[in-house]
Amino acid sequence: MWGALAIVPMGTAWAQVATAGAAEAASQTFTLGTVEVSARREAEELGAGDMQRVGSAEMERSNASTVADAVRNLPGVSLSRNNRNEEMISLRGFDSRQVPIFVDGVPLYVPYDGYVDLGRFTTFDLAEINVAKAGASLLYGPNTLGGAVNLVTRKPVKPFEGDVRLGVGSGGERRASFNLGGNQGSWYYQLGASYLDADSFPLPRGFRDYKKQPTDTGSKRENADRTDKRLSFKLGLTPNATDEYAIGYVRQEGEKGNPVYTGQSTQKNAVRYWRWPYWDKDSLYFLSTTRLNGSNVLKTRLYHDTYKNGLDMYKDASYTAHDPTSSYKDVSKGASVEWVNYAFSGHELHAAFHYKQDEHTDAASGKDPQKHYRDVTTSLVLEDHIALAERWRLTLGLSHDQRDAKQVYQWPTGSTGATNGLARLSYALTAQGDEVYLIASHKTRFATIKDRYSARMGTALANPDLKPEVANHLELGLSGKPWQGGKGQAAVFYSRVQNQIQTMVVDSTACGGKTCNQAQNVGRTRNVGLELSLAQQLSAQWTLHAGYTYLSRTNLSDRSITLTDTPRQRLTAALQWNPQAQWQLRAELEAEQGRKVPLSASGQAQVYQMAGYGVANLRARYLPRPDTTLDFGVANLGDKWYQLADGLPMPGRSWYVNLGYRF
């Protein structure tokens, strides 16, 4: 029967720390930064319905220092790597451009290409990460073709609170972070800083570098160093029980190497000797909510983000001589206003307007002048949350987006519009929040500046009139507590994408030969799949978590062209044992099968299927005091050689030790 869940008390202060810590982390969530607030938050961070959540307690326990690591075990999510040493995620087959990232509801993606390297975004100052899929609210704004990921920061609850963490690990990894905050009733502050640094990572047993001139012949990956520093500050005013105003600032400074390709591709650009001397971001934002009267609430978001990147392209593996640093600067600034009305019985009506201006500047280099691009994107949204009856809920949403190219170097400007729709119907099986739901949505994504205007080093033609990509989604799901001690979720989904942007070869002499590449709206694809997840309290000492995803993707426009970079099947599992009040032990399994990838630098001309893999991890936590944690573990226990992309091996057996203190 869907319903009762038995909770067995542990009986001591130490045994209650995990539960209390998770509850405290949940209360520290900065609700002003959420877009969709789930009433079904669970301490175990198992997603309810079509909304999934990872809390700070789970991030810390699983040693997830980056956003990609934090969400990798959620059903529907898979990781990918590329030859720019970027950590990416795929959500039900939609890539990072099609599933935008937000921080406290503010869009995060780089304006030029729509991507964001999730390896540059650490988790030390986050309260939670919310992942929405086909049913993602239209209130997020434009471009949520396949869903949305919102990184929600912390808000203090005590007059003075904080935590300090220190850690070391394989490959010379060093980490340090602190968070300080205080809530004085009518105002609050939150300060955080983190430092994450590594020299390399260990190569797995049996690894081989297949290049004619190998660069990775030792036990550690060459040119795989990284340094990421982050500083965040937030100041908030809460003059009464309903209103809140907050201003925040975040400074990120990053530097990274780019491990060299080690596969068998003979393509010209497969081997790159690259380094990023800086990968920096500044963000300033203001958020507010004001209750105008008993039936109306006004919410606002204002933000200004700056991205700065530098790339050094070296001649060889000595990393001594390189071309002039390729640098760019992107600026994104915008605002949104949301009105919420409760005047009509059973209705929660939202109306919102979004404005975003994106600017991209290529610095002058040699004979090439400085190039400047500017886009303006606007969106009007109407969304109603309706209580049809005691157990029936309906969400209806409609939005219209517009993107105008206001300034473009050399090429013609362009303009395009898109309409989005959302319908979600749910039925509560019990009063505890168990539900069955059905989602139908129509989502779009605008072409990026790179899609429309990049000459790709003289090999491509611009296409300023690219149409938006369009996806139609259907999802049927069930979530709740099917039996004593268990919490589960199941969903089947169907997505059909039209106008997908793909690179095509066209006849032209403009690129120095007889043909050129050009981005065109030619793709039609279908994604069909199943997701399952379960959290089961086996006894007072044993807990099991498991997740499974099946994904089938078909290229409807040309079945001979394979869709790549996602696994057909993916399984994650974690078995936790609490043998004593002060000890927590956990064994984890991560396995996947059916991932196809392109041979490096071949485009889609050469595709092969990666070998399936299974990786086991062991983690332990010791609590010498209720406010102190010692975490240590081993990842990839079997030292398995596996890859997520051609010629880019994942880390072999790795260890870590972390010490945390909370006050």
Rounded Cα distance, 504 and 461, in Å: 10
Kindly report the pTM of this predicted structure: 0.92
- Reply yes or no on whether the pLDDT at 93 is more than 90: yes
328 token code pair: 């760019």
Give 66-106 as a DSSP string: BHHHHHTTSTTEEEEE-TT--EEEEETTB-TTTS-EEETTE
**589 by DSSP, 3-state: which?**
strand
Over range 525-536, report the average pLDDT: 97
Among 576, 629, 494, 599, residue whose Cα is nearest residue 262: 599
How large a percentage of the chain has pLDDT more than 90? 75
Query: Which residue in 579, 477, 593, 582 sits closest to 533, CA to CA?
Result: 477
Which residue do the tokens 């799901």 mark? 477
pLDDT at 338: 98
User: Which tens digit of pLDDT belongs to each residue from 407-458?
Assistant: 988 777 778 999 999 999 999 998 887 999 999 999 999 999 988 888 776 7
Work out the number of other CB atoms within 10 angstroms of the CB of residue 114.
21
Between 99 and 41, the more confident residue is 99
In a 10 Å sphere around its CB, with 0-12 CB exposed, 13-18 middle and 19+ buried, how is residue 7 labelled?
A: exposed
Question: Please, where are the H alpha helices in 455-610?
Answer: none
Is the pLDDT score of 188 beyond 80? yes
Please say if the pLDDT value at position 275 is more than 50. yes
Q: How far apart are CA 19 and CA 5, in angstroms?
A: 15
pLDDT digits (tens, 9 = 90+) for 595-623: 999 887 555 567 889 999 999 999 999 99
Per-residue pLDDT, 461: 84
Q: How far is Cα of residue 358 from the mean position of the Cα atoms in its chain?
A: 21
Specify the pLDDT at position 548. Answer: 98
**Model confidence over 156-171: pLDDT tens digits?**
999 999 999 999 999 9
User: Of 30-39, 246-255, 335-344, 653-662, where does mean pLDDT reach its minimum?
Assistant: 30-39
CA 647 to chain centre: 24
Q: What share of the chain is helix, strand, coil (3-state, %, to 5)?
A: 5, 55, 40
Q: How confident is the model at residue 6 (pLDDT cuts 50, 70, 90)?
A: very low
Which of residues 197 and 84 earns the better pLDDT score?
Answer: 197
Torsional sign, CA 40, 44, 46, 52: positive
Please state whether 464 falls in left (phi above 0), alpha (psi between -120 and 50) or beta: alpha
- Residue 306: its pLDDT value, please? 96
Binned at pLDDT 50, 70 and 90, residue 493 comes out as: very high
Mean pLDDT, residues 530-536 = 97
331 token code pair? 């600026």
**pLDDT tier at 323, thresholds 50, 70, 90:** confident
How many CA atoms does the CB half-sphere of 13 hold within 13 Å?
6
Residue 513: HSE in the Cβ half-sphere, 13 Å Cα cutoff: 9
User: Cα-flanking dihedrals φ and ψ of residue 429, to 5°?
Assistant: -75, -30
Q: Is residue 339 scored above 50 in pLDDT? A: yes
Is 487 a residue whose pLDDT tops 90? yes
Mean pLDDT to the nearest integer, 181-205: 98
Q: With cut-offs at 50, 70 and 90, classify the pLDDT of residue 2.
A: very low
pLDDT tops 80 at residue 504:
no
What's the CA gap between 6 and 486, in Å, rounded? Answer: 9
At 602 the pLDDT is: 55
Q: Is pLDDT of 237 > 80?
A: yes
Instruction: Specify the residue for token string 């983690």.
Output: 619
Instruction: Say what the pLDDT of residue 604 is.
Output: 56
Query: Edge to edge, what strands does the sheet with 101-103 contain?
Result: 51-55, 126-132, 148-153, 101-103, 106-107
Q: Which residues pair with 293 in a beta bridge?
A: 296
Q: Which amino acid is at 435?
A: E
- C-alpha distances in angstroms, 206 versus 80, 201, 264, 615, 640? 22, 15, 16, 15, 8
Q: How much is the pLDDT for 465?
A: 85
DSSP state of 178: E
* pLDDT-derived band at 395, boundaries 50, 70, 90: very high
Judge whether residue 10 has pLDDT over 50. no
The helices-and-strands tally (H runs, E runs) of the chain is 4, 34
In whole angstroms, give the CA distance from residue 641 to residue 354. 46
Q: Which of 112, 124, 23 is nearest to 67 (CA)?
A: 124
pLDDT at 115: 87
| Longest alpha-carbon distance in the chain | 77
Which candidate, 235, 328, 322, 314, places its Cα nearest to that of 280? 328
Mean per-residue pLDDT, 314-335: 91
**What is the C-alpha to C-alpha distance for residues 119 and 68, in angstroms, rounded to an integer?**
7
Ordered structural domains, the chain, with CATH: 17-662 (2.40.170.20)
Mean pLDDT to the nearest integer, 326-352: 95
Average pLDDT, the chain: 90
What are residue 81's phi and psi, to 5 degrees? -125, 155
The whole-number pLDDT of residue 214 equals: 95
Q: How confident is the model at residue 368 (pLDDT cuts 50, 70, 90)?
A: confident
**Cα–Cα distance, 644 to 259 (Å, whole number):** 14
The CA-atom distances, in angstroms, between 539 and each of 148, 150, 551, 577 are 36, 34, 33, 10
Answer whether 624's CB lies under 8 Å from 131's CB.
Answer: no
Strand segments (E) across 408-510: 415-428, 435-445, 460-461, 469-480, 486-507
